[in-house]
């Protein structure tokens, strides 16, 4: 089985690539504009897939993959970057090109920010009202892909990731900012009231879920990649400070919560639990 990973050098991609490489009978093809974070043994294709989105030979250039895990996305940590909107059509054209070339299994990284302001459990039927350019673009890409593949024999998996922690020096989360502030010698970090409750998922666990969901085709559609258990952000941050021995305190209430941050939001885990059970013999490390 040939599996192409786009955005392979990124925050999630480099972990997904290495996990895939550990599975017997899977040939990994990694594509990105840089391979600085990837093992030299990985089959790497240096290519800007968005610029080549309409290239009729792109499928062959990318090694004629059987499955695609599409993680490539610019400015993912900047929710109001205009690039999200400007590059949306290129993502769609790239995936449409791959589908028309014969790829039957495609997994695409989504985000909880597609939902917008919402309180409670998120499932397949939860309405989406995104409030950031990032959420809007991801939501539109999902709608376009499901509409385009509606009458096609395609296993399309929309991998909706929730709030990611881990490998914080490569992240751009509030944990990363606190780590950077502490390293600069700052003793106080301005914060919200910390009461919002989010569904946090650690990067290594998320990467395993991405791989397990993508290599199977029995479960498709929207698949939440999450813990299913909301935690107050202040608890997560205070634990991070303690676990890392940081000499810094939070200034609660210095900032208001972002208008698109829900009071309590978490994902339904039925599909990912079913997938993990189906793939329980895969000893992904």
Q: At a CB cut-off of 8 Å and minimum separation 6, what does 105 contact?
A: 66, 67, 68, 154, 155, 157, 214, 217
The sign of the dihedral angle between the CA atoms of 264, 268, 272, 277 is positive
Q: How many whole angstroms separate alpha carbon 5 and alpha carbon 31?
A: 6
pTM beyond cutoff 0.85:
yes
Q: What is the pLDDT along the chain (285 residues), one digit of tens a residue?
A: 999 999 999 999 999 999 999 999 999 999 999 999 999 999 999 999 999 999 999 999 999 999 999 999 999 888 999 999 999 999 999 999 999 999 999 999 999 999 999 999 999 999 999 999 999 999 999 999 999 999 999 999 999 999 999 876 667 788 889 999 999 999 999 999 999 999 999 999 999 999 999 999 999 999 999 999 999 999 999 999 999 999 999 999 998 888 888 899 999 999 999 999 988 776 665
The residues annotated with a catalytic role in the active site are 134
Q: Quick one: tokens of 33?
A: 């504009």
CA distances (Å), 195 to each of 60, 80, 205, 258, in order? Answer: 50, 24, 25, 12
């Amino acid at each position: 089985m040939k599996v192409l990973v786009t955005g392979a050098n990124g925050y999630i991609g480099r972990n997904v690539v290495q996990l895939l490489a550990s599975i017997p009978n899977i040939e990994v093809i990694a594509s990105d504009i840089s391979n600085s974070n990837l093992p030299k043994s990985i089959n790497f294709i240096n290519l800007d897939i968005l610029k080549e989105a309409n290239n009729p030979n792109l499928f062959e250039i990318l090694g004629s993959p059987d499955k695609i895990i599409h993680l490539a996305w610019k400015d993912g940590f900047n929710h109001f970057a205009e690039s999200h909107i400007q590059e949306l059509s290129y993502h769609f054209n790239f995936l449409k090109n791959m589908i028309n070339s014969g790829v039957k299994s495609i997994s695409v990284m989504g985000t909880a920010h597609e939902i917008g302001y919402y309180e409670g459990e998120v499932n397949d039927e939860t309405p989406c009202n995104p409030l950031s350019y990032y959420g809007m673009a991801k939501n539109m890409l999902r709608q376009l892909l499901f509409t385009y593949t509606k009458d096609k024999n395609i296993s399309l998996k929309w991998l909706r990731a929730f709030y990611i922690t881990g490998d914080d020096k490569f992240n751009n989360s509030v944990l990363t900012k606190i780590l950077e502030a502490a390293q600069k010698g700052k003793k106080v970090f301005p914060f919200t009231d910390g009461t919002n409750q989010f569904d946090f998922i650690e990067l290594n666990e998320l990467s395993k879920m991405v791989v397990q969901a993508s290599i199977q085709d029995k479960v498709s559609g929207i698949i939440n990649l999450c813990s299913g258990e909301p935690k107050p952000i202040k608890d997560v941050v205070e634990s991070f400070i303690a676990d890392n021995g940081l000499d810094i305190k939070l200034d609660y209430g210095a900032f208001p919560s972002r208008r698109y941050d829900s009071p309590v939001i978490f994902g339904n885990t039925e599909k990912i639990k079913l997938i993990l059970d189906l793939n329980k013999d895969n000893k992904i490390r």
